[in-house]
């Protein structure tokens, strides 16, 4: 049987990286959220926020473990499946990976131990410090891997040494490699994507508690924090996305053309296609809804200057258009949806009905899937749009494979990964489900109501929910003391 | 200093760090099914609970450093060991998952399943590490193009399997000493017996591997004529091995643990001596071997990485010490335990 090693290896990479990438954005986003919760605790000394952080740490730990387990696969895979690529980029890519190991992974995994197991063993201050270190570590690991990826998109600070089989890229300028034209925008956009996910995850689970009338006080405060988080980053995302697209227009024009389904350069301004159906054979977008001149205006600030279309590139240098177009548009559409949803939530917050509008809470329960999908398809667009190159303009994906590996071996590993990942997915769902259903009861029940302190979060939540603590109309804490409020809102019906 | 030699040495340090640290938690995993009750099993898992993840990072960093410093060796070795490494990944994933998920539910079937998976994945991973080392000692059929010319069966030679057995016994010994340090009472008394038996198993495997190496792999010992000082390590290794049973009998398990850590470091050193200056020895023609020169990154990259390592290593050591200090002492099961 003759198997296509290239196709199988690409499929395997897509499978393993997409499965892995479920987890890092969750840990980056939740890591930042944990820092916010513990900061609130350190500032207000209100033990509720310590309890909140404890509960979310459990969710964080599950995702972190899966992120680590699936992440090792990625490091192995460059060598196992893409040996020629590894030889080609090792000199450039390797130092970023080594920096990632030394600066990020040790930091993360070391302090994770204190974050998860250290609540009773170390002081509040040391725990707070460890949480910050884990969050920084998670961010650092994003830094180096995104730098390496960006170098593949927009290589800089290198020269080519050797010929034919032994040609490879070698660093000439380390900082030019690190700050290559696309790395900063890509990094910021990637992190923002993770923070949006973190915010929406907080809102999803706390909306669920509010709907089920459990842990309502916990749910409202968490939801409020999540909403602030999600709003800030949902509005930041399109700004960074815009700068990224402008960079792409300069560095990878074929990719931008594929994102936009822009086949013919033509004369005059280029329209921005909002939606449509790509017909690759005919080389056009059918049923297109387009804004005339808009793409030119976004890219050049000049609505009449044409943007380079796919017709400027030979057939074998063009990325697959349909896959790039749909994934890119899905990401953009979802991004707009997040911002809109946050605005709607603030509107209801202002109307003081955010926490009692059931349909909206249900929307938020499921809205967390949006950022998950957006993070995935955003990367699919970035990677598919780079094709047919693995290192843009230098090395083709088809030339990057391991020469020693046979199709049957790759098929074997794909089957293995599919089985393991299905099993992991099942475990992940079942344990998360169990943790969420169980809720923050144990943590919240430890909170001594006498030690509760008011903070602006309590004030804001109470202001926007005049009905008091629970959805079923349990009576408002009214003019009780802060401690009294703590008691009535924390110890709620199961 | 020659940067290529420096990075060969640093890779040795990373590999030793990995083998010493993850060695004991892999050992604990292999002993897991010998714990009788659910509480004992939780004690076992929690003895390594906060640490195993950081220990595995040494492997990840070793891989990253190999990729960065010697990309050709990384590419050739990883594509040559394709199937064993995929199985290794499978084992490492299952190990992580078993620890994380075992105690998340109370169902006996759920726990039993993960207990078995934890044991099997620890044993499989250890064995495969040994097989990989054994194969590197023997050399691989590498062509003039630096590519592996063999197939899966070239990796299943008896010597590789023998080194796999040495790895298993070494980590069993190392892990049982660690467990002895972390437990008390009746459980600790039982572990005392395991330690002794594991030591003799290790000693047997070590002797057999040494003899077979001397006879079957001549290129593995030729460096001793060029670098006679390396005999010092051989002697120190023998002393460290001899000190393990002595410290156990004297009731000083921490010394025994330090000695077994030194033994592991010495074994990695000998592995390095067997290879140097090769990274992957070609059995087809020694001229085609991947060496620390022809497989390396540019001098510039090796220099940048030296800076990164000099900056990063003090931090790594500092937090490793802080974490081990925070979680020192006997295992106590609490709310946050697995």
Please count the residue pairs, one from chain A and one from chain B, whose beta carbons lie less than 8 angstroms apart: 237
Report pLDDT digits (tens) over A427-459: 898 888 888 888 887 777 777 777 777 777 777
pLDDT score recorded for residue B30: 93
Q: Is A90–B59 a contact, with Cβ atoms under 8 angstroms apart?
A: no
The residue extents of the domains of chain B are 3-326
pLDDT score recorded for residue A51: 86
Q: Is B298–A161 a contact, with Cβ atoms under 8 angstroms apart?
A: yes
The pLDDT of residue A213 is above 90: no
- B86-120 burial by CB neighbour count: b if 16+ within 10 A, else e? bbbbbbbbbbbbbbbbbbbeeeeeebeebbebbbb
A487 band by pLDDT with thresholds 50, 70 and 90: very low
Report pLDDT digits (tens) over A180-201: 888 899 999 999 999 999 999 9
Report pLDDT digits (tens) over A260-285: 888 888 777 787 888 888 887 887 88
pLDDT score recorded for residue A479: 35
Residue B165 CB partners (closer than 8 Å, separation 6+): B127, B130, B205
Mean pLDDT on B139-146: 85
pLDDT score recorded for residue A475: 36
The pLDDT of residue A11 is above 50: yes
Which of B54, B74, B85 comes nearest A106 by C-beta?
A: B54
pLDDT score recorded for residue A481: 34
**R_g over Cα of chain A:** 25
Which of B49, B50, B71 comes nearest A90 by C-beta?
A: B71
Please report where in the chains the tokens 């490793």 appear, as a residue.
B320
Residue A414 CB partners (closer than 8 Å, separation 6+): A8, A11, A12, A15
Report pLDDT digits (tens) over B288-320: 888 888 888 888 888 888 888 888 888 888 888
pLDDT score recorded for residue A471: 35
Report chain A's mean pLDDT, rounded to a whole number: 84
What is residue A260's three-state secondary structure? helix
Percent of residues, chain A, with pLDDT higher than 90: 26
Residue among A20, A109, A171 with most chain B CBs within 10 A, to mutate:
A109
Mean pLDDT on B247-262: 89
pLDDT score recorded for residue A490: 40
Residues of chain A found within 8 Å of residue B315, distances taken between Cβ atoms: 103, 106-107
Cα–Cα dist B189/B194, whole Å? 9
pLDDT score recorded for residue B262: 93
Report pLDDT digits (tens) over A121-133: 888 888 999 999 9
Orientation angle between helical segments B108-138 and B3-31, nearest 10 degrees? 150
A466 band by pLDDT with thresholds 50, 70 and 90: low
The pLDDT of residue A169 is above 80: yes
pLDDT score recorded for residue A91: 87
Q: Is A94–B69 a contact, with Cβ atoms under 8 angstroms apart?
A: yes
pTM across the whole model? 0.86
Long-range contacts of B108-116 (CB under 8 A, 24+ apart): B111/B38, B111/B41, B115/B32, B115/B33, B115/B41, B116/B33
pLDDT score recorded for residue A2: 61
Which helix or strand (DSSP H or E) is residue A274 part of?
A: strand A272-279
A336 band by pLDDT with thresholds 50, 70 and 90: very high
The pLDDT of residue A483 is above 80: no
The pLDDT of residue A212 is above 90: no
Judged by a CB distance cut-off of 8 A, whether residue A42 touches chain B is no
The pLDDT of residue A321 is above 90: no
Report pLDDT digits (tens) over A59-107: 898 898 888 888 889 888 888 989 889 888 888 887 888 788 888 888 8
Mean pLDDT on B147-166: 86
The CA distance from B22 to the nearest CA of chain A, in Å, is 14
A480 band by pLDDT with thresholds 50, 70 and 90: very low
Mean pLDDT on B101-128: 89
Cα–Cα dist B76/A466, whole Å? 67
pLDDT score recorded for residue A467: 61
8 Å CB contact between A317 and A257:
no
Report pLDDT digits (tens) over A361-383: 999 999 999 999 999 999 999 99
Q: Which range (A31-40, A193-202, B25-34, B98-107) has the least confidence? A: B98-107
Judged by a CB distance cut-off of 8 A, whether residue A124 touches chain B is no
């Amino acid at each position: 049987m003759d198997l296509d090693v290239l196709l199988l290896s690409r499929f395997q990479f897509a499978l393993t990286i997409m499965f892995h990438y479920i987890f890092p954005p969750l840990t980056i986003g939740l890591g930042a959220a944990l820092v916010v919760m513990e900061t609130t605790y350190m500032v207000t000394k209100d033990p509720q926020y310590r309890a909140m952080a404890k509960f979310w740490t459990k969710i964080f730990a599950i995702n972190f473990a899966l992120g680590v387990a699936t992440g090792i696969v990625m490091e192995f895979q460059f060598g196992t499946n893409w040996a020629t690529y590894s030889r080609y980029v090792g000199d450039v890519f390797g130092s970023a990976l080594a920096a990632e190991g030394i600066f990020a992974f040790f930091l993360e995994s070391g302090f994770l131990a204190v974050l998860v197991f250290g609540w009773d063993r170390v002081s509040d201050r040391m725990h707070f410090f460890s949480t910050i270190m884990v969050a920084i570590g998670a961010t650092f690991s994003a830094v180096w891997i995104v730098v390496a990826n960006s170098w593949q998109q927009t290589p800089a600070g290198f020269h080519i040494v050797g010929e034919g089989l032994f040609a490879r890229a070698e660093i000439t300028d380390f900082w030019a490699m690190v700050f290559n034209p696309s790395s900063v925008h890509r990094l910021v956009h990637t992190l923002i994507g993770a923070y949006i996910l973190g915010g929406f995850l907080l809102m999803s689970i706390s909306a669920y508690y509010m709907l089920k009338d459990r842990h309502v006080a916990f749910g409202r405060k968490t939801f409020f924090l999540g909403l602030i988080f999600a709003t800030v980053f949902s509005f930041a995302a399109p700004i960074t996305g815009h700068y990224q697209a402008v960079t792409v227009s300069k560095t990878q024009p074929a990719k931008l053309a594929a994102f936009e389904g822009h086949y013919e350069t033509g004369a005059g301004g280029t329209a921005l296609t909002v939606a449509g159906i790509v017909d690759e054979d005919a080389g056009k977008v059918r049923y297109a809804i387009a804004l005339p001149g808009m793409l030119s205006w976004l890219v050049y600030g000049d609505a009449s200057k044409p943007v380079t279309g796919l017709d400027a590139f030979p057939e074998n240098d063009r990325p697959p258009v349909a896959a790039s177009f749909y994934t890119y548009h899905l990401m953009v559409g979802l991004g707009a949806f997040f911002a809109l949803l946050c605005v709607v939530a603030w509107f209801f917050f202002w109307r003081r009905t955010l926490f009692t509008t059931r349909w909206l809470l249900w929307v938020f329960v499921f809205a967390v899937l949006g950022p998950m999908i957006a993070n995935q398809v955003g990367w699919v667009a970035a990677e598919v749009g780079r094709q047919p190159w693995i290192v843009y303009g230098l090395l083709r994906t088809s030339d990057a494979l391991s020469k020693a590996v046979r199709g049957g071996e790759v098929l074997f590993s794909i089957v293995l990964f599919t089985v393991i990942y299905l099993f992991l997915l099942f475990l992940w769902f079942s344990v998360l489900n169990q943790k969420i259903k169980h809720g923050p009861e144990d943590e919240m029940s430890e909170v001594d109501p006498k030690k509760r302190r008011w903070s602006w979060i309590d004030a804001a939540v109470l202001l926007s929910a005049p009905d008091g603590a629970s959805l079923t109309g349990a009576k408002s804490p009214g003019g009780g003391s802060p401690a009294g409020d703590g008691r009535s809102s924390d110890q709620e019906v199961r | 200093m020659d940067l290529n030699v420096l990075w060969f040495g640093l890779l040795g340090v990373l590999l030793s760090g990995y083998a010493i640290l993850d060695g004991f938690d892999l050992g604990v995993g292999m002993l897991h099914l010998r714990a009788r009750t659910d509480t004992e099993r939780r004690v076992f898992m929690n003895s390594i609970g906060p640490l195993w993840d950081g220990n595995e990072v040494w492997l990840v960093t070793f891989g990253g450093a190999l990729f960065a410093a010697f990309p050709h060796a990384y590419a050739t070795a990883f594509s040559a060991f394709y199937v064993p490494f995929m199985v290794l990944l499978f084992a490492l994933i299952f190990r992580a998952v078993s620890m994380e998920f075992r105690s998340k539910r109370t169902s006996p079937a759920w726990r039993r399943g993960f207990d078995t998976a934890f044991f099997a994945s620890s044993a499989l991973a250890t064995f495969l590490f040994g097989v990989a080392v054994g194969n590197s000692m023997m050399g691989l059929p590498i062509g003039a193009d630096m590519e592996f010319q063999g197939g899966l069966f070239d990796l299943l030679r008896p010597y590789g399997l023998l080194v796999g057995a040495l790895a298993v016994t070494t980590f069993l010994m190392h892990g049982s000493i660690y467990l002895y340090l972390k437990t008390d009472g009746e459980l600790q008394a039982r572990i005392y017996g395991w330690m002794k038996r594991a030591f003799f198993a290790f000693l047997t495997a070590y002797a057999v591997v040494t003899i077979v190496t001397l006879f079957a792999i001549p290129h593995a010992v030729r460096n001793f004529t060029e670098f006679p000082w390396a005999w010092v390590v051989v002697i120190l290794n023998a002393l460290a091995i001899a000190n393990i049973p002595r410290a156990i009998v004297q009731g000083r398990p921490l010394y025994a643990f330090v000695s077994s850590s030194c033994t592991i470091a010495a074994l990695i050193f000998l592995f390095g001596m067997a290879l140097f200056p090769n990274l992957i020895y070609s059995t087809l023609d020694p001229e085609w071997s991947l060496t620390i020169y022809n497989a390396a990154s540019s001098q510039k990259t090796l220099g940048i990485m030296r800076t990164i390592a000099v900056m990063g290593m003090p931090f790594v050591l500092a937090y490793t010490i802080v974490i081990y200090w925070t979680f020192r002492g006997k295992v106590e099961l609490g709310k946050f335990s697995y």
